[in-house]
Amino acid sequence: MTQIVSFRNHSTPSGMPPLSVHDLRTGCSTCSMRELCLPVGLDNDDMVRLDQIIRRRRRVPKGHLLYRAGDPFVSLYAIRLGHFKTYQTHREGTQQITGFLMTGEMLGMDAISSEVHQCDAMALEDSEVCEIPFSQLEQLFSEIPTLLRQFHRMMSHEITREQGVMLLLGSMPADQRFAAFLVNLSSRYAVRGFSASSFHLRMGREEIGNYLSLTIESISRLLSKFKKMEILKVDNRTINITDLPRLRRVAAGTETI
């Protein structure tokens, strides 16, 4: 692992072509399940069956909840378009964000065990998801072994991702955490065919701080520090990484500030 932290890594196996704008417009082709099956030799019949299940779409406007903690678990959701955050709520009020998810990533896997959703999932912008009824998916597993295998990879990948966050929260100082966060976003946008160096933050400083267990003030100070170091330019929520290699070194702890 050259990159120690891997927040929510893209769910796409490496080697997969990045999504094109065309993909974003046609059917459910950005759904994780479908994506994941393309490179592993599902035949056309299988694809059709998969599509029959995941065809249902649902729009979620900015700020609205896709599901909330306590809801019965019925479906997994693959993000077709947009961004989400997942968070758990403590005692009245305090929330802890457990992940930021983008196009092609999957929501709801943590609910399989208890059959109840463990967190809220909120759209950070107007978004659209594919609903995948889990019981139907399970049926399909028996018919399409490849699909099952990919599903296992996704679950396992989520476990690995969370271990990365544990590592980050557990043993990185603030600057390293934040750098790792930015590097992670950058890679995930790159995989999706967007710029790795310039992107728009869909979440506010407060949400970033919450996720990284830092205060909003710390995030702000770190942004200023990175700006001064000429690692990046900031225009409100637009980030422009001017020295990605250095940012990576900061994230890795190789370069102390």
Partner DNA sequence: CGTGAATTTGACCAATCTCAAGCCTGGTGG
Partner DNA sequence: CCACCAGGCTTGAGATTGGTCAAATTCACG
Residues near a copy of itself, by CB under 8 A = 4, 88, 90-91, 94, 96, 98, 109-114, 118-119, 138, 141-142, 145, 148-149, 152-160, 162-163, 165-167, 169-171, 213, 252-253
- Least CB distance to DNA at residue 5 (A): 14
User: Which one of DNA, a copy of itself, none is in contact with 41 (Cβ closer than 5 to 8 A by kind)?
Assistant: none
Q: Tell me the two tokens of residue 163.
A: 């271990």
Tokens 């196009």 sit on residue? 103
Report what 146 binds from DNA, a copy of itself, none; CB cut-off 5-8 Å by kind: none
229 interacts with DNA by CB under 7 A: no
Residue 160 binds: one of a copy of itself, DNA, none (C-beta under 5 to 8 A by kind)? a copy of itself
Q: Which stretch binds DNA (CB under 7 A): 63-71, 104-112, 232-240, 243-251?
A: 232-240
Nearest approach, Cβ of 153 to DNA (angstroms)? Answer: 34
Q: Minimum Å distance from CB 17 to a copy of itself?
A: 20
Nearest approach, Cβ of residue 74 and a copy of itself (Å):
14
162 touches which of a copy of itself, DNA, none (CB within 5 to 8 A by kind)?
a copy of itself
Residues near 212 by Cβ (< 8 Å), separated by ≥ 6? 168, 169, 174, 177, 178, 181, 219
CA diameter of the chain? 57
| Residue 223 structure tokens | 């942004």
Query: Residue 164 has which token pair?
Result: 């990365």
d(CA 180, CA 242): 15
Cα(242)–Cα(161) distance, integer angstroms: 26
Nearer to a copy of itself, 156 or 224 (CB): 156
Using alpha carbons only, what angle is made at residue 223 by residues 96 and 219, rounded to the nearest 5 degrees?
25
- What is the strand order of the sheet 127-133 is part of? 57-60, 127-133, 75-81, 106-107
Q: What are phi and psi of 80, to 5 degrees?
A: -90, -30
Per CB under 7 A, the list member of 215, 233, 249, 255 interacting with DNA is: 215
CB of 94: closest distance to a copy of itself in angstroms? 7
CA distance 170 to 231: 25
Vertex 221, ends 5 and 239: CA angle to 5°?
Answer: 60
Q: Residue 115 or residue 206: which is nearer to DNA going by CB?
A: 206
Give the side-chain half-sphere CA count within 13 A for 200.
Answer: 5
Given 39, 173, 193, 245, the residue binding DNA (CB under 7 A): 173
Q: Which does 118 bind (CB under 5 to 8 A by kind): a copy of itself, DNA, none?
A: a copy of itself
Residues that bind DNA (CB under 7 A): 173-175, 204-206, 213-221, 223-224, 234, 236-237
